Amino acid sequence: MWTSGAHLEPIVQFSMRQTVKNGLARTLGMRQHLARQDAVLLTFDDGPEPTLTEQILARLKRYGARAVFFSVGYQVERAGHLLKAVWRDGHEIGNHSFAHPLDAPPTVSSAVEDLRRCQSVIEAQIGAPPKLFRPPFGAIRLRNVLAARALKLKTVLWSVDSHDWEITSARQADERGRLLAATVVPGDIVLLHEHNEHVLTVLDHLLPSLRARGIDVSRGVELL
């Protein structure tokens, strides 16, 4: 998985390829950091997830945090009630494609259709279409760029990849959470996921740390 604009070591390794992609993202106007440096924005990809979304929401509510949930269309069709819960709690919902393909759709028109289908199923649940888009895997492809622009969606990437998707044990989750808590700084957009139960441990470290450091975790959505 490509990590966009990240500074989190040793979770994230730098490379010339990554540097080039970060420069391309900036050139295309994709958001990797918040507009102001006094808040942190948490973002969650790949949901909604019946076994985890509600537990994530409970933790965010406990610390007064607002996040962006980049939802996958076919997941919304399976668990639309959870998307409504996310919306009711005051979080923003973004388009993360309908099918979450391993690569971008083969043509611009097919990419537009995929994003439009995701827009439709989300709007059917919450009464409003998303304004934000995150491409699957954060991959920058011309087809995705043009499709997002065609639907007037703002593309949001991240500055810190938690790599929570690869955690396989409670010990690893604890270590990752502590590292994130010590590394995330104001202005960061943090990538997290809804499909791995270990994200809960990560949040149990990250959220109280951000509060203790006086970092705002509620206004990041507005700063996009």
- Residues taking part in catalysis: 45, 193
- State the amino acid at position 196 in one-letter form: N
What is the Cβ-side half-sphere exposure of residue 7, based on CA atoms within 13 angstroms?
A: 11
The tokens describing 142, both together, are 């011309």
Give CA–CA dist 62/48, Å, rounded.
Answer: 20
DSSP string, 34-46: -SSSSB-EEEEEE
Nearest to 114 by CA among 99, 134, 133, 102: 99
**Residue given tokens 């440096």 in the structure block:** 37
Give CA–CA dist 193/171, Å, rounded.
Answer: 18
Give CA–CA dist 22/5, Å, rounded.
Answer: 6
